[in-house]
Chains A and B, each alone.
Chain A
Amino acid sequence: MATQGRGEAGAGGRRKGSTEAGSGSQLCCGLFDMSAHQQGTELDLSWISKIQVNKPAVLRRAEQIQARRPVKKEWQAAWLLKAVTCIDLTTLSGDDTASNVQRLCYKAKYPIREDLLKALNMHDKGITTAAVCVYPARVCDAVKALKAAGCDIPVASVATGFPAGQTHLKTRLEEIRLAVEDGATEIDVVINRTLVLTGQWKALYDEIRQFRKACGEAHLKTILATGELGSLTNVYKASMIAMMAGSDFIKTSTGKETVNATFPVAIVMLRAIRDFFWKTGNKVGFKPAGGIRSAKDSLVWLSLIKEELGDEWMKPELFRIGASTLLADIERQIYHHVTGRYAAYHDLPMS
């Protein structure tokens, strides 16, 4: 288990802290060791200065990966349940209120109909989604609802001027602190795209460092908003900077850009995660978000993680899918697998 004290966060300069975060807690119930953080490293610009991403090759690989690893029958059912445990069940709408947040939390606790899980003999495995993800103002509602449901699914909050990040640093940092105070244990921050597009890598590193510090005990997930970074090479560089600055996860997008989680972008980010792991021994998680709606998509995402990073990344400690409607489709597929019939809309509870 990781032992590095949280109080030291922000002092910087430590690297290769204990890196086995989460590897001992192979739990299926969404319970993670929240004290284990990726500490990051000092800024080393040589890790990004020579990088050049071969876009045509990335596009080809992205195309291949979607056709080369079909998963069928029992394997499909088991993989879909794994995908469920990796979902950050999300609602990020202007019209969110306590009632729909409460419904979301209930769905997070009971993502698949109990009888279906029973048929698969998976009802006692504690299958829940990995987290619920809401706006900062809805964190209290979510914490309360989850407490009422009697479960310890973490609440994730977006922050730092989500989705555009175009607010003052001071308010962005304050936003993090308030969300943590309200009980969020995971913070999804957006980076300042201006700094990437103008090549101010040092400034980007410093900002994320401050986010890290403001998070305190909470997990830091850094949203790169890859649809607005201009090139795959920039995606790689931003990923590397975010990891050096101590992000626990790097996340593709807010779901609000015009281009969200795509496979080419994912490949570049996953390669960056692998390079960072090879350099430091630190395992950073990956979260695609935005546009992942079908059960089939979630299978491709899982196989992509398996191919690029290996089995050890295929768990909620290191892989999340940010989604709202995906869960419904997965439940329909499980229904079909168990019963041999396609479900009607009213057969499955809404979230």
Chain B
Amino acid sequence: MAATRTASRAGEIFTTLEYGPAPESHACALAWLDTQDRHLGHYVNGQWLKPEHRSSVPCQDPITGENLASCLQAQSEDVAAAVEAARASLENWSTQPGAFRAQHLTRLAKAIQKHQRLLWTLESLVTGRAVREVRDRDVPLAQQLLQYHAVQAHTQEEALAGWEPMGVIGLILSPTFPFLDMMWRICPALAVGCTVVVLAPPASPTPLLLAQLAGELGPFPGILNVISGPASLGPVLAAQPGVQKVAFCGAIEGGLRLLIQEAVWDETMRRLQERMGRLRCGRGLDGAVDMGARGDAARDLAQRYVREAQSQGAQVFQAGSVPSDSPFFPPTLVSDLPPASPCTQAEVPWPLVVASPFRTAKEALAVANGTPRGGSASVWSERLGQALELAYGLQVGTVWINAHGLRDPAVPTGGCKESGSSWHGGQDGLYEYLRPSGTPAWIPYLSKTLDYDSFGLALPSALPAGPETGPAPPYGLFVGGRFQAPGARSSRPIRDSQGSLLGYVAEGGAKDIRGAVEAAHQAAPGWMSQSPAARAALLWALAAALQRREPNLVSRLERHGVELKVAKVEVELSVKRLRAWGARVQAQGCALQVAELRGPVLRLREPLGVLAIVCPDEWPLLAFVSLLAPALAHGNTVVLVPSGASPIPALEVCQEMAALLPAGLVNVVTGDRDHLTRCLALHQDIQALWYFGSAQGSQFVEWASAGNLKPVWVNRGCPRAWDQEAEGAGPELGLRAAWTKALWLPMGD
């Protein structure tokens, strides 16, 4: 009976030549779930943790809806237990020689290799993703990540001297992450000597499996701990004593936006539709399927977007029809969206491609850069010159030329703008989990009394403050290359260490900040396009000017109560800083060699844009120069708030800058520091903010930065040794002063 059925089908298939099912057996994934009686807890300190009296959520096959297991939901006690385990193992782990940690990571890579089938079937089963994507890409890359970071750990003592591991790292995963994104973060953290607590979303067994593989390696069970629970536990994790950093892994891999030059529009669309028509949707565990499903929420989102786009007049191409109650959504090409329609502005959901035409490369660049996102992009062109120009101009973390989606552990991947400012992979990724040796540990202390609505809101009234001690020149605000009167038309008194009046400086406010930022933006394109040599020359010229002005600067510092000897050192060091950064600027960027690609990957260091710096009160000249020099060297334009107590030395430097630097490159605004900090933090068009001041101010700056995810650097009220090489001119400043862009250049004719 069975034989005849087989036979009749062969004849039929011989005519239709259709594809058949090619199911990957997931028996081993189910067997693994059975070892836990289909009841998953948390994996902490090398053991399964299944506390009593916890709620649980079902883990379902997103395609069949079948219940695979139930997963316990963590409560704050469980978070605390996991952090405690990570803390307990931190000392042992971080003090091991790098070579030893390297061996441990290599063993984990081997463990993954041994159990790769379990890993890929489990991941595909519970996420619905196409198994070939997990099997052919994610699992090998996970092993490469471990091996790459093992090598980094091996050379850590030499290559990363002067840096130490941060400590316990909290990692919060979003509900739609692939397990690989967890690997991108835990590998560098473990390599440099941190220990990790992962808060996985409810019902995600793969991180638990990885934790088990790591835990069963033996000597260091507590370095990787995984708990599952709702996102609301995130703040609980962040507030645990000992947690030094919390990394988020947001939702990723959305739809795509495609810009096509009008001249090749028809041809490209035709080819695209042809290719999309051959993509196969289906159960993730089928080896012949290109696209799986991502659950009902993703499908509904795509459906809503398509309906809305259609109502706004768009053309929609869908390869094949999928019934509306199916868990799958076909690859969809949307075109002819009117430029101003809401869909054009909105983020494109998976698995959609929105195509729009452009006329010139310049226009394409403007459109591509005109979004708040800055993750990755690819440029397709046969003209390498043009492709390179576009690639350099794109404000995104990764650009592939004539390729897309390649990843390698050696290449830093990150983004700019709202795509975040952290890096995974490469050297840049390691620094995410390191801090300069001797930096005080971060205490997760948030002042409950800080009122974000009123911090720095009120401007103190400036009143006449008695007789001036000597004839002081009236200092204005240094904006757009010249001294200007402040918008408020009032001044604030500056006193010396004895309390007698030194003079008045301008009382800057919101309007002055706005003007300064505008001036900085105007100067930005010119400064960015300067060659490193030209930037260096200007910094050296400024150094020479400071040297000439030394007696004057020393006397200003003395009047602020600085001893003569110290004042002399301060000026000398300031000159030295400018020279040093001028020299360093010329040795930036490098080419990387990676496995997956024939050809180089360029690691470029890109200016942040307009950088706002609130200088500390101490070292009024040296701190000002130490912060200014790396910012300028890396091609940024700057808005600075100088020392509040002693702003005059900085303003003296401005007099030199007025003659030397292009207008708007450096802008210095004096006034009430809290008020100016508030104005800067809430300005959306400042690309980064460095704040050296009070703990409260730091807290405010971090809170405000959430508004547009601008990178911030705050000192949390801790003073810095600006006269020491490490803290005053260390590599940390250079790292903070630019962002990294990776440019993939495949070769071959």
Contacts and interface: CB of A to CB of B under 8 A. Distances in A.
B13 A74 contact: yes
A122 B11 contact: yes
A122 B10 contact: yes
Contacts of A82: 14, 17
Interface string A268-305: 00000010001000000000000000000000001100
B18 A75 contact: yes
B748 A56 contact: yes
B321 interface: no
Given A68-B288, A78-B14, A81-B14, A55 B8 contact: no
A258 interface: no
B9 interface: yes
A71 interface: yes
A304 to B, nearest CB: 11
Contacts of A119: 3, 7
B448 interface: no
Contacts of A68: 132, 288, 290
A33 B746 CA distance: 46
A79 B748 CA distance: 35
B382 interface: yes
A52 B382 contact: yes
B598 A71 contact: no
B20 to A, nearest CB: 3
A73 B746 CA distance: 39
Contacts of B11: 78, 120-122, 125
Nearest to B402: A54
B595 interface: no
Nearest to B24: A70
A71 B4 contact: no
A28 B12 CA distance: 13
A67 interface: yes
A57 B6 CA distance: 39
Interface in B1-47: 3-4, 6-14, 16-22
B84 to A, nearest CB: 45
B20 A125 contact: no
Contact of A314 (B3, B17, B287): B17
Nearest to B287: A70
Contacts of A311: 16-17
A121 B10 contact: yes
A77 interface: yes
A233 B382 CA distance: 12
A195 B23 CA distance: 49
Given A56-B599, A75-B20, A121 B7 contact: yes
A198 B9 CA distance: 52
Contact of A72 (B20, B290, B748, B749): B20
A74 B12 CA distance: 10
A302 B18 CA distance: 11
Given A70-B287, A311-B17, A57 B403 contact: yes
B278 interface: yes
Nearest to B20: A75
Contacts of B587: none
A76 B9 CA distance: 11
Given A56-B599, A57-B403, A68-B288, A79 B13 contact: yes
A306 interface: yes
Contacts of B18: 75
Contacts of A14: none
A121 B4 contact: yes
B160 interface: no
Nearest to A315: B17
A72 B25 CA distance: 13
Contacts of A274: 274
B111 interface: no
Interface in B712-749: 746-749
A69 interface: yes
B273 to A, nearest CB: 12
B287 A125 contact: no
A307 interface: yes
B136 interface: yes
A168 interface: no
Contact of A69 (B19, B21, B748): B19
Interface string A76-106: 1111011000000000000000000000000
Interface in A231-245: 231-233
A59 interface: yes
A74 B132 contact: no
Contacts of A78: 9-14, 17
Contacts of A306: 17
Given A56-B598, A67-B132, A233-B749, A74 B403 contact: no
A75 to B, nearest CB: 3
19 contacts: A55-B749, A56-B747, A60-B403, A68-B290, A69-B19, A69-B288, A71-B288, A73-B20, A75-B13, A75-B18, A78-B9, A78-B13, A82-B14, A82-B17, A120-B6, A122-B7, A122-B10, A125-B14, A307-B278
Those 6 A-B pairs whose CB atoms lie nearest each other, nearest first? A75-B20, A55-B748, A78-B13, A121-B7, A56-B746, A52-B382
Given A56-B598, A56-B748, A70-B22, 14 more contacts: A52-B382, A54-B382, A55-B748, A68-B132, A69-B288, A72-B20, A72-B22, A78-B11, A78-B13, A78-B17, A82-B14, A232-B749, A302-B17, A307-B278
Interface of B: 3-4, 6-14, 16-22, 132, 136, 270, 274, 278, 287-288, 290, 382, 402-403, 597-599, 746-749
